[in-house]
């Protein structure tokens, strides 16, 4: 019993003694995150790095009464660069202020270019690993160490001295890069808010930022490194500042949902074929009730779309409401003008009122002229232009500026007549009242030409309670029927393939919170949409191409009384297109 008490007392004394001997080292470990605390045991592969046990490839050892420690482990632990060059068969080490090269084949060591004996600094372990003399390395690293002969243990404490930012030669300072985030941990697909805290000690301001890894959100769990470097106006560069963003396995938004939720109206979401095929290709169609407006006769002049000779492109009569639509390209070798002639077919004067129009001057860009004419027409600016055509007379209703070979025009006119008027679309060099008598009727070449009773279709959709992404298809000829008509020049029934000149009015009562997107999959597309009275261009610039991505057309909050979309197929664009209605849920972050 007495023997047990003596052993317990001895253990307590040894414990207190160790606490006193190593208190500075242990407390230093907790004082600064820049400090590294290492415990090595002679001839043992177990070691401790900042309190965590690790296993060494080669243990510390004593050679000729000198302590040698594993170079690679120590270099990694202390932030010292240790690299093996296979070509030169040399090991390079970088410490604060010193470049060290060790050549084990030639038994040489160079320190900042000065040769020293290899044995004075290093040795090779029986396992073939590089060992460094502890006293030698400590001098170059600025590390403190103690050796406990009884425990055969080496305690190493290294505190990295931060680099100063003052530059004496220029009487200036380097800027300091720093940032924070609004949270410590994020869910998958949760937006990360980066708060820039960088500053210039000279109060000259930061002029350049270089971020790496600063994604808006991360879609894989784990640790993601983000680094910021900044420059001041003198070109002085900061030290890189790095933080690790921790992402849990809980999902906030997946990679498909994220841009739809987070990007604003008008944004383009670039994607690829596989993403579109897997997520948006076979969406269910949003139920719709279709009605048509047969009160306005639509005259479409689009064939020959590209005319190669002067003549009458199309001709038909209007008595009441009508819409005149033309899309043509000058395929001749000379400049011509395009005009619409109005011939009174009655024995009394007839008044023509123009209530809306869309015009664009001649251009070689087919997508541009179709888009601009559609914008002009959908704006529906007030018009109250009148023309009185005497009995049996022919007047020039509209005449465009001269356009050159390769240029095109696109025209819309909504008219109202109080008698029968024959409208003729003509391409000629000179326009007069006798033009119709000298011009031939140009042959049909396969595009759209004819007169159609329907100039407006109305889609009433239920967008109040759907829960899965759905769509409306425009211009496929199946779910969106191409309107039938008649071509009096050919005396045969025709269809308005593409429904050019037709206005779509899409209405939804009490729409839920959602995003409405445009997906072009028939080819190139460029055109406007009028949404609750406001014009939206698709795209903002350039064109959409098939399967390249989607544009967010609009977003609803779930509090609107209604959603009204007006659209007319723009000339020069390919169909079909999808309007994708994507339901949005309320998302909350922790």
* pTM (predicted TM-score): 0.72
Please report the pLDDT score of residue 515 as a whole number. 98
Q: Phi/psi class of residue 276: alpha, beta or left (left: φ > 0; alpha: ψ in -120 to 50)?
A: alpha
> What six digits make up the tokens of 198?
């960088």
SS3 assignment, position 43: coil
pLDDT for position 293: 96
Which pair of tokens denotes residue 84?
Answer: 């093996």
- Given this model, what pLDDT does residue 589 score? 58
CA angle 99, 102, 106 (to 5 degrees): 140
Longest dimension (CA), the chain: 139
Nearby residues of 454 by Cβ (< 8 Å), 6 or more positions away: 292, 293, 294, 298, 483, 502
Element (H, E) at 437: helix 435-438
Per-residue pLDDT of the chain (590 residues; tens, 9 = 90+): 444 444 444 334 333 333 333 333 333 333 344 678 888 888 888 888 888 898 888 888 888 888 888 877 877 877 777 787 778 778 887 776 677 888 777 778 887 778 887 777 787 777 777 788 877 777 776 778 888 888 888 888 877 655 556 666 667 788 999 999 999 899 999 999 999 999 988 878 899 999 999 999 999 999 999 999 999 988 889 999 999 999 999 999 999 999 999 999 999 999 888 888 889 988 999 999 999 999 999 999 999 999 999 999 999 999 999 999 999 999 999 999 999 999 999 999 999 999 999 988 888 887 789 999 999 999 998 888 999 999 999 999 999 999 899 999 999 999 999 999 999 999 998 888 788 888 999 999 999 999 999 999 999 999 999 999 999 999 999 999 999 999 999 999 999 999 999 999 999 999 999 999 999 988 999 999 999 999 999 998 889 988 889 999 999 999 999 999 999 999 999 999 999 999 999 886 55
pLDDT at 163: 58
CA–CA distance, 194 with 183 (Å, rounded to integer)? 10
Question: Exposed, middle or buried: residue 254 (CB in 10 Å: 0-12, 13-18, 19+)?
Answer: exposed
> What letter does residue 120 receive in the DSSP assignment?
G
The helix or strand, by DSSP H or E, that contains position 7, with its residue range, turns out to be helix 2-31
Q: What share of the chain in percent tops pLDDT 90? A: 59
> pLDDT at position 102, please?
80
Question: Among 180, 296, 306, which residue's Cα sits nearest to residue 241?
Answer: 180
CB 47 within 8 A of CB 73: yes
- Cα distances (angstroms) measured from residue 432 to each of 289, 293, 421: 47, 35, 17
Which residues share a beta bridge with 492?
487
Token pair of 406 as six digits: 């390769």
Q: Chain-wide mean pLDDT for the chain?
A: 87
**Cβ neighbour number for residue 166 with a 10 Å cutoff:** 11
Q: Pick the closest to residue 299 from 327, 338, 279 (CA basis).
A: 327
List the one residue out of 157, 188, 167 whose CA is nearest residue 50. 157
* pLDDT for 122: 80
Task: Quote the pLDDT of residue 154.
Answer: 85
Task: Compute the 3-state secondary structure of the chain and give helix, strand, coil in percent, each to the nearest 5.
Answer: 15, 45, 40
């Amino acid at each position: 019993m007495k023997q047990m008490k003596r052993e317990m007392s001895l253990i307590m004394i040894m414990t207190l003694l160790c606490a006193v001997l190593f208190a500075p080292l242990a407390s230093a470990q907790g004082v600064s995150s820049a400090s590294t605390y290492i415990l090595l045991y002679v001839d043992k592969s177990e070691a401790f790095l900042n309190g965590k046990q690790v296993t060494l490839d080669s243990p510390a050892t004593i050679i000729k009464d000198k302590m040698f420690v594993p170079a690679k482990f120590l270099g990694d632990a202390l932030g010292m660069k240790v690299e093996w060059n296979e070509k030169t068969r040399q090991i390079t080490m970088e410490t604060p202020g010193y470049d060290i090269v060790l050549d084990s084949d030639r038994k040489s060591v160079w320190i900042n270019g000065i040769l020293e004996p290899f044995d004075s600094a290093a040795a090779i372990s029986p396992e073939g690993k590089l060992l460094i003399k502890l006293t030698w390395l400590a001098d170059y690293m600025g590390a403190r160490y103690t050796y406990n002969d009884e425990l055969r243990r080496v305690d190493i404490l290294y505190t990295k001295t931060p680099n100063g930012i003052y530059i004496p030669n220029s009487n200036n300072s380097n800027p300091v890069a720093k940032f924070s985030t609004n949270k410590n941990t994020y869910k998958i697909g949760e937006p990360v808010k980066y708060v820039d805290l960088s500053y210039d000690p000279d109060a000259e301001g930061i002029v350049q930022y270089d971020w790496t890894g600063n994604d808006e959100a991360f879609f894989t769990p784990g640790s993601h490194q983000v680094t910021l470097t900044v420059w001041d106006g003198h070109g002085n560069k900061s030290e890189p500042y790095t933080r690790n963003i921790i992402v849990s396995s809980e999902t906030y938004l997946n990679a498909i949902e994220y841009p739809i939720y987070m990007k604003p109206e008008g944004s383009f979401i670039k994607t690829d074929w596989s993403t579109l095929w897997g997520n948006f290709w076979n969406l269910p169609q949003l139920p719709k009730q279709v009605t048509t407006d047969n009160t306005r006769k639509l005259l479409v002049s689009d064939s020959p779309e590209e005319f190669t000779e002067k003549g009458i492109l199309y001709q038909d009569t209007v008595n009441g409401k009508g819409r005149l639509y033309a899309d043509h390209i000058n395929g001749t070798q000379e400049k011509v003008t395009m005009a619409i002639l109005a011939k009174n077919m009655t024995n009394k004067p007839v008044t023509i009122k123009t209530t809306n129009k869309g015009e664009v001057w001649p251009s070689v860009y087919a997508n541009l002229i179709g888009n601009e004419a559609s914008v002009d027409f959908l704006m529906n600016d007030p018009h109250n232009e009148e023309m009185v055509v005497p009995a049996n007379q022919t007047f020039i209703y509209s005449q465009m500026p001269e356009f050159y070979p390769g240029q095109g025009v696109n025209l819309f006119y909504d008219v109202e007549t109080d008698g029968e008027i024959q409208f003729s679309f003509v391409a000629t060099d000179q326009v007069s009242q006798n033009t119709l008598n000298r011009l031939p009727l140009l042959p049909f070449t396969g595009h759209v030409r004819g007169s159609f009773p329907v100039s407006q279709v109305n889609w009433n959709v239920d967008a109040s309670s759907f829960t899965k992404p759905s769509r409306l298809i425009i211009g496929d000829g199946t779910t969106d029927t191409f309107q039938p008509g008649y071509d009096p020049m050919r005396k045969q029934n025709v269809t308005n393939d593409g429904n050019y000149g037709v206005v779509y009015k899409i209405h939804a009562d009490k729409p839920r919170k959602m995003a409405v997107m445009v997906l072009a999959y028939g080819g190139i597309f460029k055109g406007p949409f009028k949404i609750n009275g406001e014009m939206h261009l698709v795209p903002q610039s350039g064109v959409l191409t098939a399967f390249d991505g989607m544009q967010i057309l609009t977003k609803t909050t779930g509090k609107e009384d209604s959603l009204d979309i007006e659209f007319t197929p723009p000339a020069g664009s390919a169909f079909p297109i999808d309007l994708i209605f994507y339901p949005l849920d309320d998302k909350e972050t922790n």
